[in-house]
Chain A
Amino acid sequence: MSEGYRKFLRMKQLPHVWCPGCGNGMIVKALLEAVGELGLEQDKVVVVSGIGCSGRTPFVLDFNTMHTTHGRALAFATGIKLANPELKVIVIMGDGDASAIGGNHFIHSCRRNLDLTALIFNNGIYGLTGGQLAPTTPTGKRSTTTPTGSIDAPFDLVRLALGAGAGFVARTTSFDHKVMASLMKRAISYRGFAVMDILTSCPTYFGRMNEVAEPYDMVHYLRDTTSAMHDCTCGETDEAEDPVVAGAAALMSTGVFRDEAREDYGTLYGRKVAAAVERQRSAT
């Protein structure tokens, strides 16, 4: 990491808790690059997390940071952003955090369209609790609670976010590090609710349970189970024909699935308040 981004790290809180070979460090590097390149004011950035391996991210980040309860990071972030719209609020969740225990907050945040950036560190397993089944674990894969393989259908977080109405939806992997930071810049700059499903490697649990225990192999697993980058805004893909959206693919598509300008909740609320204050004034 170049020296420029050291200022975003709480050096005293390092080393972090993640295992060797974990993909989360790559995501954090991209995030700090994105924040640096966007020139965000460090004092006005808030990073909110839930519980799990991803939840440990804000400990080492020198922003305003809040490590909340399992699944509720988006609800806490909603309060922070509405109370002080000047703050740039970035929410970090795990896949189980966002779509199992926090699924309700996730879909409602998608439809509400408050100006938040949701980064989902999706390792397809519950890492911090020791490798149990996640709602994103692919069918047939093993975990400590599906020792003979899962029969559950997994959530596709991109389709979930698209269906729930999020205005910006993208997916990338910790293997695709080079594009991750540029996608994050787009997600963070998006005015409204932006979702990034970031597939990341967990050699310790997902890998050891599923014959990809070596970090090197696990990174290649991410490469080999995803398809090339797409960008809906470049006319490269038609959403209906996208293998992920069409639901037919063995491979997970990566790229930008939706990037639509629409009025965010804060703007709408501001207008509502202005009208209410005016109504009050003319009544008195």
Chain B
Amino acid sequence: MSDQIILKADNLYFSYDEDHSHSLNGLSLEIRQGQKIALMGANGSGKSTFFLCCTGILKPQKGRLFFKGEEFRYDKKSLLDLRSKVGIVFQDPDNQLFCASVYQEISFGILNLGVPPEEAKKEVENVIQQLEITPFRHQPAHALSGGQKKQVSIADILVMHPEIILLDEPAAALDPRHIRMVNQMVDQMTEAGITVLIATHDVDYAYGWADEVILFQEGRVLLHGSPLEVFSNRPALDQTNLEPPAVLELFQALARKGILDGSQTPPRNLPELKRAIEECPGP
């Protein structure tokens, strides 16, 4: 995995209401290319605002943003260039899907990149197949279920082949099957070399999936580290109203009782924990 910094924020300030309150309050962070990153924090801690700043939709009042070492510029051409590389999947698909036809919807972004129609057609077909949209591709957007809309809104972005994808609470209001599908899509993105940032409240998922976890609090980064570091830091979790992941808690409880070996690397998901329990010598 390369160590190149793909996205860097340096002391960002952003306020929606002319400096009465700050949604971003001196936020600084660095994202390395190809990483899987979970952004966590209470509602209103600045995750979505940060995402909008990353695509240049919002311009921070103070501070600087860098994409691959190059500072953000806000003229039209630079913005279009930036947005072709930074994709964002919004939390509510109804705010993102504007076409009644699924096919037209997906074609919008890639045509904006100036790709010729013939090639765009192929790309759209590919992504429809890849994300299993075929069964409902001929239905109008208003007849789709929440999960199907989410699939389309991810396809919208994937078809543009961005280098980094920001997903704002992708699992919100989805049924378990669609959460699984979204998680698979995220894994596919990582395999394709795309850097993925997910804003999420699901500690268990973040613990098992992420390479790095960033805790946001009141527009600032409270803690940035590996999932184990972050989720073992009880005071930081308490400050951001998060619970530790169940697997980690259980592992630590078992280790304290001497049932499991506490010096080994803690398991990151349920199957790993089960294996650890099955492999221990027993009474």
A-B interaction: no
- Could you tell me which B residues sit within 8 Å of A by CB distance? none
- Could you tell me which A residues sit within 8 Å of B by CB distance? none
